[in-house]
Structure 1
Amino acid sequence: MKITTKINLLTTVWMLCILMLINFVVFFLFMKTTVNMEENVLFQKAEDILKDIDTNQSSSYVELKLKDYLTDHSFIRIIQPKNKVIHEVTNDQKLLKKIKEKYTKTKQAQTRLISAENGEEEVLIVRVPINNGKKGSLEIGERLSGLETRKEILRRILGFCTILATLLSLLGGRWLANMIMRPISNMIKTMEEIEKSGVPKKINIQNETRDELHTMASTFNRMIDRLQENLKKQSQFVSDASHELKTPLTVIKSYANLLRRHGIQNNEMADEAIQAIHSEATRISKMTETFLDLANLEKENVLEMNEVDLVSICESILKQLKSVYKREITLRFEENPITIYADLLKIKQVIIILLDNAIKYSNDKIEVILEKNQQYAIIHIKDYGIGIPEEEIENIFERFYRVDKARSRDTGGSGLGLHIAKSIINLHKGEIKIKSKEGSGTNVELLLPISNGNDEKNAQKRNPRQLVSFHQ
């Protein structure tokens, strides 16, 4: 069964239930109010009779007085104890015979159904004691003929209104179901088109209703935006990776062909070819590892957060790099330790990437400065090398981007290091800033948030795999 049909039926059934309840309440209140009004009229008549007549007078006099108070299809009795009738008048003998006399010492009112020519009919009877019951009680009864007519009219009106409301509910339910299902139908249609064509497509939102359906359609469109962005990134990644791999593969192929044509008789040429092939193969291996790093970051891997001492990390990294590169790298810090909550391996990778760039593009000393404020732990990595042109700074975090492509080839760079570093810092909710002047050097500033650690200590470790460490 379609959702529109379900909505239509459910709204109609619910409307019918509400109408039935309302009809019952209206009918009950109408009957109660009408009967109460009739009771009040008869009680008032009984009081008037008791004021007007003297039960000590002759029977003919009393009955003559009582006849003045008769209405259509009614009777009046005066009853003594033991249900003895002493005075009785009526203009409806059938009614009189059906209602049995009853003596009472309290004020009473009741309704009874009796059989009549046109079916059952309701009779209203009131009883009022005379002189607190010492002189008997007055009993008045009359057919509620008008009430039956009004009841029938009310039933017809309620029935007609119920049928009309049902029809309107069916029409309204159909309109409501179509209105609710319109964006869902558009979404289904769009999904079917995406399934057939394989091309992501947004839902056309015509009305800004700001309801849940609008939110659902907007969420779907945002999902499509993200999917298109990821597809674009994937396509760009494949294109860039293919381009980057093309050069070393071409070199390897060229030297392999050279060896195939000339063999290894020429030792000098063979050594040159082997060295070139080994160098380019190593470059491809490093580039593949960098691609894996980038792929992991593109999937937004969650950090494995722990307490990290930046002073200790920097001391360890600088000790290794000094021994390998024989370069002057100084470390300064305001306090020890400087502690943050971060992913240890990823933070080390960022620092190594930045120090590696400083080593490659400078020949003078390199300074690492650690400081701290109320919000951030700050790492400055400063070199006095070739620097970066001002117009190039905003592009250096893009994948495969190189300021000096020829020099980057010589130093073995892939153009991914700063992109990876920025991605890691973004995952830590931090910032990376670069200030540079061509010919004067570069200052890289890392800002890493300082948290209280209570939440970070208990952070869920959602991915046990670590990023591949940066290779020199």
Structure 2
Amino acid sequence: MKITTKINLITTAWMLCILMIINVVVFILFMKTTVNMEEEMLFQKANDIVKDIQTNENSGSVEDELKDYLTNHSYIRIMHTKNKAIHEVTNDIKLTKKIKGKYTKVKESQRRLIREEDGEEQILIVRVPIKEENKINSSLEIGERLLGLEMRKDILLGILSVCTLLAVLLSLLGGRWLSNIIMRPISNVIKTMEDIEQSGVPKKIPIQNKTRDELQTLARTFNRMIERLQENMEKQNQFVSDASHELKTPLTIIKSYANLLRRHGVQKTEIVDEAIQAIHSEATRIQKMTETFLDLATLENENIVEMTEVDLVSLSQNILKQLKDVYRREIILDFKESPIIIKADELKIKQVIIILLDNAIKYSHDKIEISLDKNNHQATIRIKDYGIGIPQEEIENIFERFYRVDKARNRVSGGTGLGLNIAKSIVKLHKGEINIKSKEGSGTEVVLTLPI
């Protein structure tokens, strides 16, 4: 069943329930109010009759006086203490036969339902006591058919039924109109998704009316998601292009030297040494690039790290010893206390430090400073270089995957734009933070904070 049909049926059913409750309340209030009015009128008539009887000394004319108060389809009785009628007048013999008289010492009313050949009818009966010399020896009883009530009740039921049917019809039409309005943005989302599925090209949902509701929020969120997908696709396309170029160059070199060896053989030692050295260098470069890609893929699927106690001072010293021997650069390590122990995955934290130092080495020629510090909650690693720096407008993008500040230097530096993204992913797994402060031409400082 379509959502529009469900909305239509649910709103109509809810409206019908509300109308039924309102109809019942209106009917009950109408009946109660109408009967109360009839009771008040009959009690008023009964009081008037009692006064006339008490002021009239001639008992023989009582029934004549009672006849003056008769209305259509009614009776009037004066009852003795033994439930015996002293006086009775009526213009509806059937009614008097069905309703037996009753003596009472208190004022009371009663509504009864009697069955007739043409249906049921309601009878309203009121009884009031008659005082004679401060004694109650008899009571007055008045009964009449509520013919007008039945007619008004039937009219009211007819009006309520018609109004209910009309309301249900309008509810169906309104529910359909409302569901179409609600579903239009969702239908646009579905249509856009189907277009994307068929064409394979991401596209946004057109937003025409600014309704500022949840559906517009849905459309805007979808559009932001499409923007992000488009950005990632552009970055991935750029990465594929760059990676292809990077792989093409070493493969070309390897193939060239292999052809050289095939043409000239292994007779010339200097050519063989040069070819072997070049092939080894380029193969090593390809291996490093592949390892970087594998690291990235591993981090995407990894949610748990093996936490052990790691001494940042000892770890940094070992890393610097290795890098100094390879790069012959001045790298200064500064720490105020030792050891600085944190809970972390040692291999991954080592990878982060190496990535940050590798960037500092690539883009600077002066000294590199590393400082270690800690407080009660976290440890801080600062790596500062005095190299070319990063433009201010590029800093916010520096951690994006496949992003490089200067794409022209990619071939020289050997970067793929994945190092800082890998570093940030590792730090995130450790619930830490990594921030960069840089000024173009003055150098860069990377601040890494990890929880103790």
TM-score grouping bracket, smaller chain normalisation = 0.7 to 0.9
Of 228, 236, 248, the match for 1:226: 228
Distance in 2 (alpha carbons) for counterparts of 1:141 and 1:107: 14
Q: SS where residue 120 of structure 1 aligns?
A: strand
**For structure 1, which runs of at least 5 residues remain unmatched after alignment?**
454-472
1:81 maps to: 81
Of 416, 429, 434, the match for 1:430: 434
User: What amino acid is aligned across from residue 158 of structure 1 in structure 2?
Assistant: L
Q: How does 1:447-462 map to 2 (within 5 A)?
A: 447-448=448-449, 451=451
Distance in 2 (alpha carbons) for counterparts of 1:404 and 1:200: 30
Q: Does residue 318 of the first structure (1) align with residue 320 of the second (2)?
A: yes
Distance in 1 (alpha carbons) for counterparts of 2:33 and 2:249: 99
Distance in 2 (alpha carbons) for counterparts of 1:81 and 1:149: 37
Tell me by how many angstroms 1:233 deviates.
2.3
Distance in 1 (alpha carbons) for counterparts of 2:325 and 2:168: 89
How many residue pairs get matched?
443
1:304 maps to: 305
User: What amino acid is aligned across from residue 379 of structure 1 in structure 2?
Assistant: I
Q: How does 1:145-294 map to 2 (within 5 A)?
A: 145-294=147-296
Tell me by how many angstroms 1:313 deviates.
2.8
1:348 maps to: 350
Decide whether aligned partners of structure 1 residues 134 and 328 sit closer, same or farther in structure 2, where only a CA change above 3 A counts. Answer: same
Distance in 2 (alpha carbons) for counterparts of 1:14 and 1:286: 67
Decide whether aligned partners of structure 1 residues 405 and 164 sit closer, same or farther in structure 2, where only a CA change above 3 A counts. Answer: closer
Q: How does 1:130-149 map to 2 (within 5 A)?
A: 130-131=130-131, 134-149=136-151
Distance in 2 (alpha carbons) for counterparts of 1:405 and 1:312: 34
Distance in 2 (alpha carbons) for counterparts of 1:81 and 1:147: 32
Q: Does residue 37 of the first structure (1) align with residue 27 of the second (2)?
A: no
Q: SS where residue 143 of structure 2 aligns?
A: strand
User: What amino acid is aligned across from residue 353 of structure 1 in structure 2?
Assistant: I
Deviations 1:420-449 (CA, angstroms, capped at 9, x unpaired): 4466557743202235647xxx4533242x
1:467 maps to: none
Decide whether aligned partners of structure 1 residues 133 and 268 sit closer, same or farther in structure 2, where only a CA change above 3 A counts. Answer: farther
Decide whether aligned partners of structure 1 residues 371 and 122 sit closer, same or farther in structure 2, where only a CA change above 3 A counts. Answer: same
Contact 1:105 1:128 in 2 (8 A): yes
State the identity %: 68
Give the TM-score, by structure 2 length. 0.85
Decide whether aligned partners of structure 1 residues 379 and 15 sit closer, same or farther in structure 2, where only a CA change above 3 A counts. Answer: same
Distance in 2 (alpha carbons) for counterparts of 1:226 and 1:390: 24
Tell me by how many angstroms 1:354 deviates.
3.0
Tell me which moved more, 338-347 or 136-145: 338-347
Q: How does 1:16-165 map to 2 (within 5 A)?
A: 16-54=16-54, 57-115=57-115, 119-131=119-131, 134-165=136-167
Contact 2:235 2:403 in 1 (8 A): no
Q: How does 1:6-21 map to 2 (within 5 A)?
A: 6-21=6-21
Tell me by how many angstroms 1:161 deviates.
0.6
Tell me by how many angstroms 1:261 deviates.
1.6
Tell me by how many angstroms 1:92 deviates.
2.5
Q: SS where residue 77 of structure 1 aligns?
A: strand
Distance in 1 (alpha carbons) for counterparts of 2:175 and 2:67: 61
Decide whether aligned partners of structure 1 residues 162 and 393 sit closer, same or farther in structure 2, where only a CA change above 3 A counts. Answer: closer
Q: SS where residue 210 of structure 1 aligns?
A: coil
Distance in 2 (alpha carbons) for counterparts of 1:276 and 1:48: 130
Q: SS where residue 201 of structure 1 aligns?
A: coil
Tell me which moved more, 275-284 or 120-129: 120-129
Contact 1:392 1:403 in 2 (8 A): no
Tell me by how many angstroms 1:77 deviates.
0.5
Tell me by how many angstroms 1:119 deviates.
3.5
Give the TM-score, by structure 1 length. 0.82
User: What amino acid is aligned across from residue 429 of structure 1 in structure 2?
Assistant: E
Tell me by how many angstroms 1:403 deviates.
8.1
Tell me by how many angstroms 1:365 deviates.
5.2
Deviations 1:36-58 (CA, angstroms, capped at 9, x unpaired): 11112212222222222139944
User: What amino acid is aligned across from residue 101 of structure 2 in structure 1?
Assistant: E
Tell me by how many angstroms 1:95 deviates.
2.2
2:335 maps to: 333
Decide whether aligned partners of structure 1 residues 361 and 38 sit closer, same or farther in structure 2, where only a CA change above 3 A counts. Answer: closer
Decide whether aligned partners of structure 1 residues 352 and 393 sit closer, same or farther in structure 2, where only a CA change above 3 A counts. Answer: farther
Q: SS where residue 283 of structure 1 aligns?
A: helix
Tell me which moved more, 97-106 or 159-168: 97-106
Tell me which moved more, 250-259 or 422-431: 422-431
Q: SS where residue 194 of structure 2 aligns?
A: helix
Tell me which moved more, 76-85 or 61-70: 61-70
Distance in 1 (alpha carbons) for counterparts of 2:114 and 2:319: 108
Q: SS where residue 446 of structure 1 aligns?
A: strand
Tell me by how many angstroms 1:202 deviates.
1.6
Deviations 1:251-283 (CA, angstroms, capped at 9, x unpaired): 011111111222222222122112211111111
Q: Does residue 446 of the first structure (1) align with residue 447 of the second (2)?
A: yes
Q: SS where residue 311 of structure 1 aligns?
A: helix
Deviations 1:261-309 (CA, angstroms, capped at 9, x unpaired): 2222222212211221111111111111122234455x48557385655
Contact 1:107 1:129 in 2 (8 A): yes
Decide whether aligned partners of structure 1 residues 204 and 61 sit closer, same or farther in structure 2, where only a CA change above 3 A counts. Answer: same
Contact 1:353 1:417 in 2 (8 A): yes
Decide whether aligned partners of structure 1 residues 193 and 401 sit closer, same or farther in structure 2, where only a CA change above 3 A counts. Answer: same
Of 380, 383, 396, the match for 1:381: 383
Contact 1:104 1:133 in 2 (8 A): no
Distance in 1 (alpha carbons) for counterparts of 2:249 and 2:107: 114
Contact 2:75 2:142 in 1 (8 A): yes
Tell me by how many angstroms 1:124 deviates.
0.7
Tell me by how many angstroms 1:175 deviates.
0.6
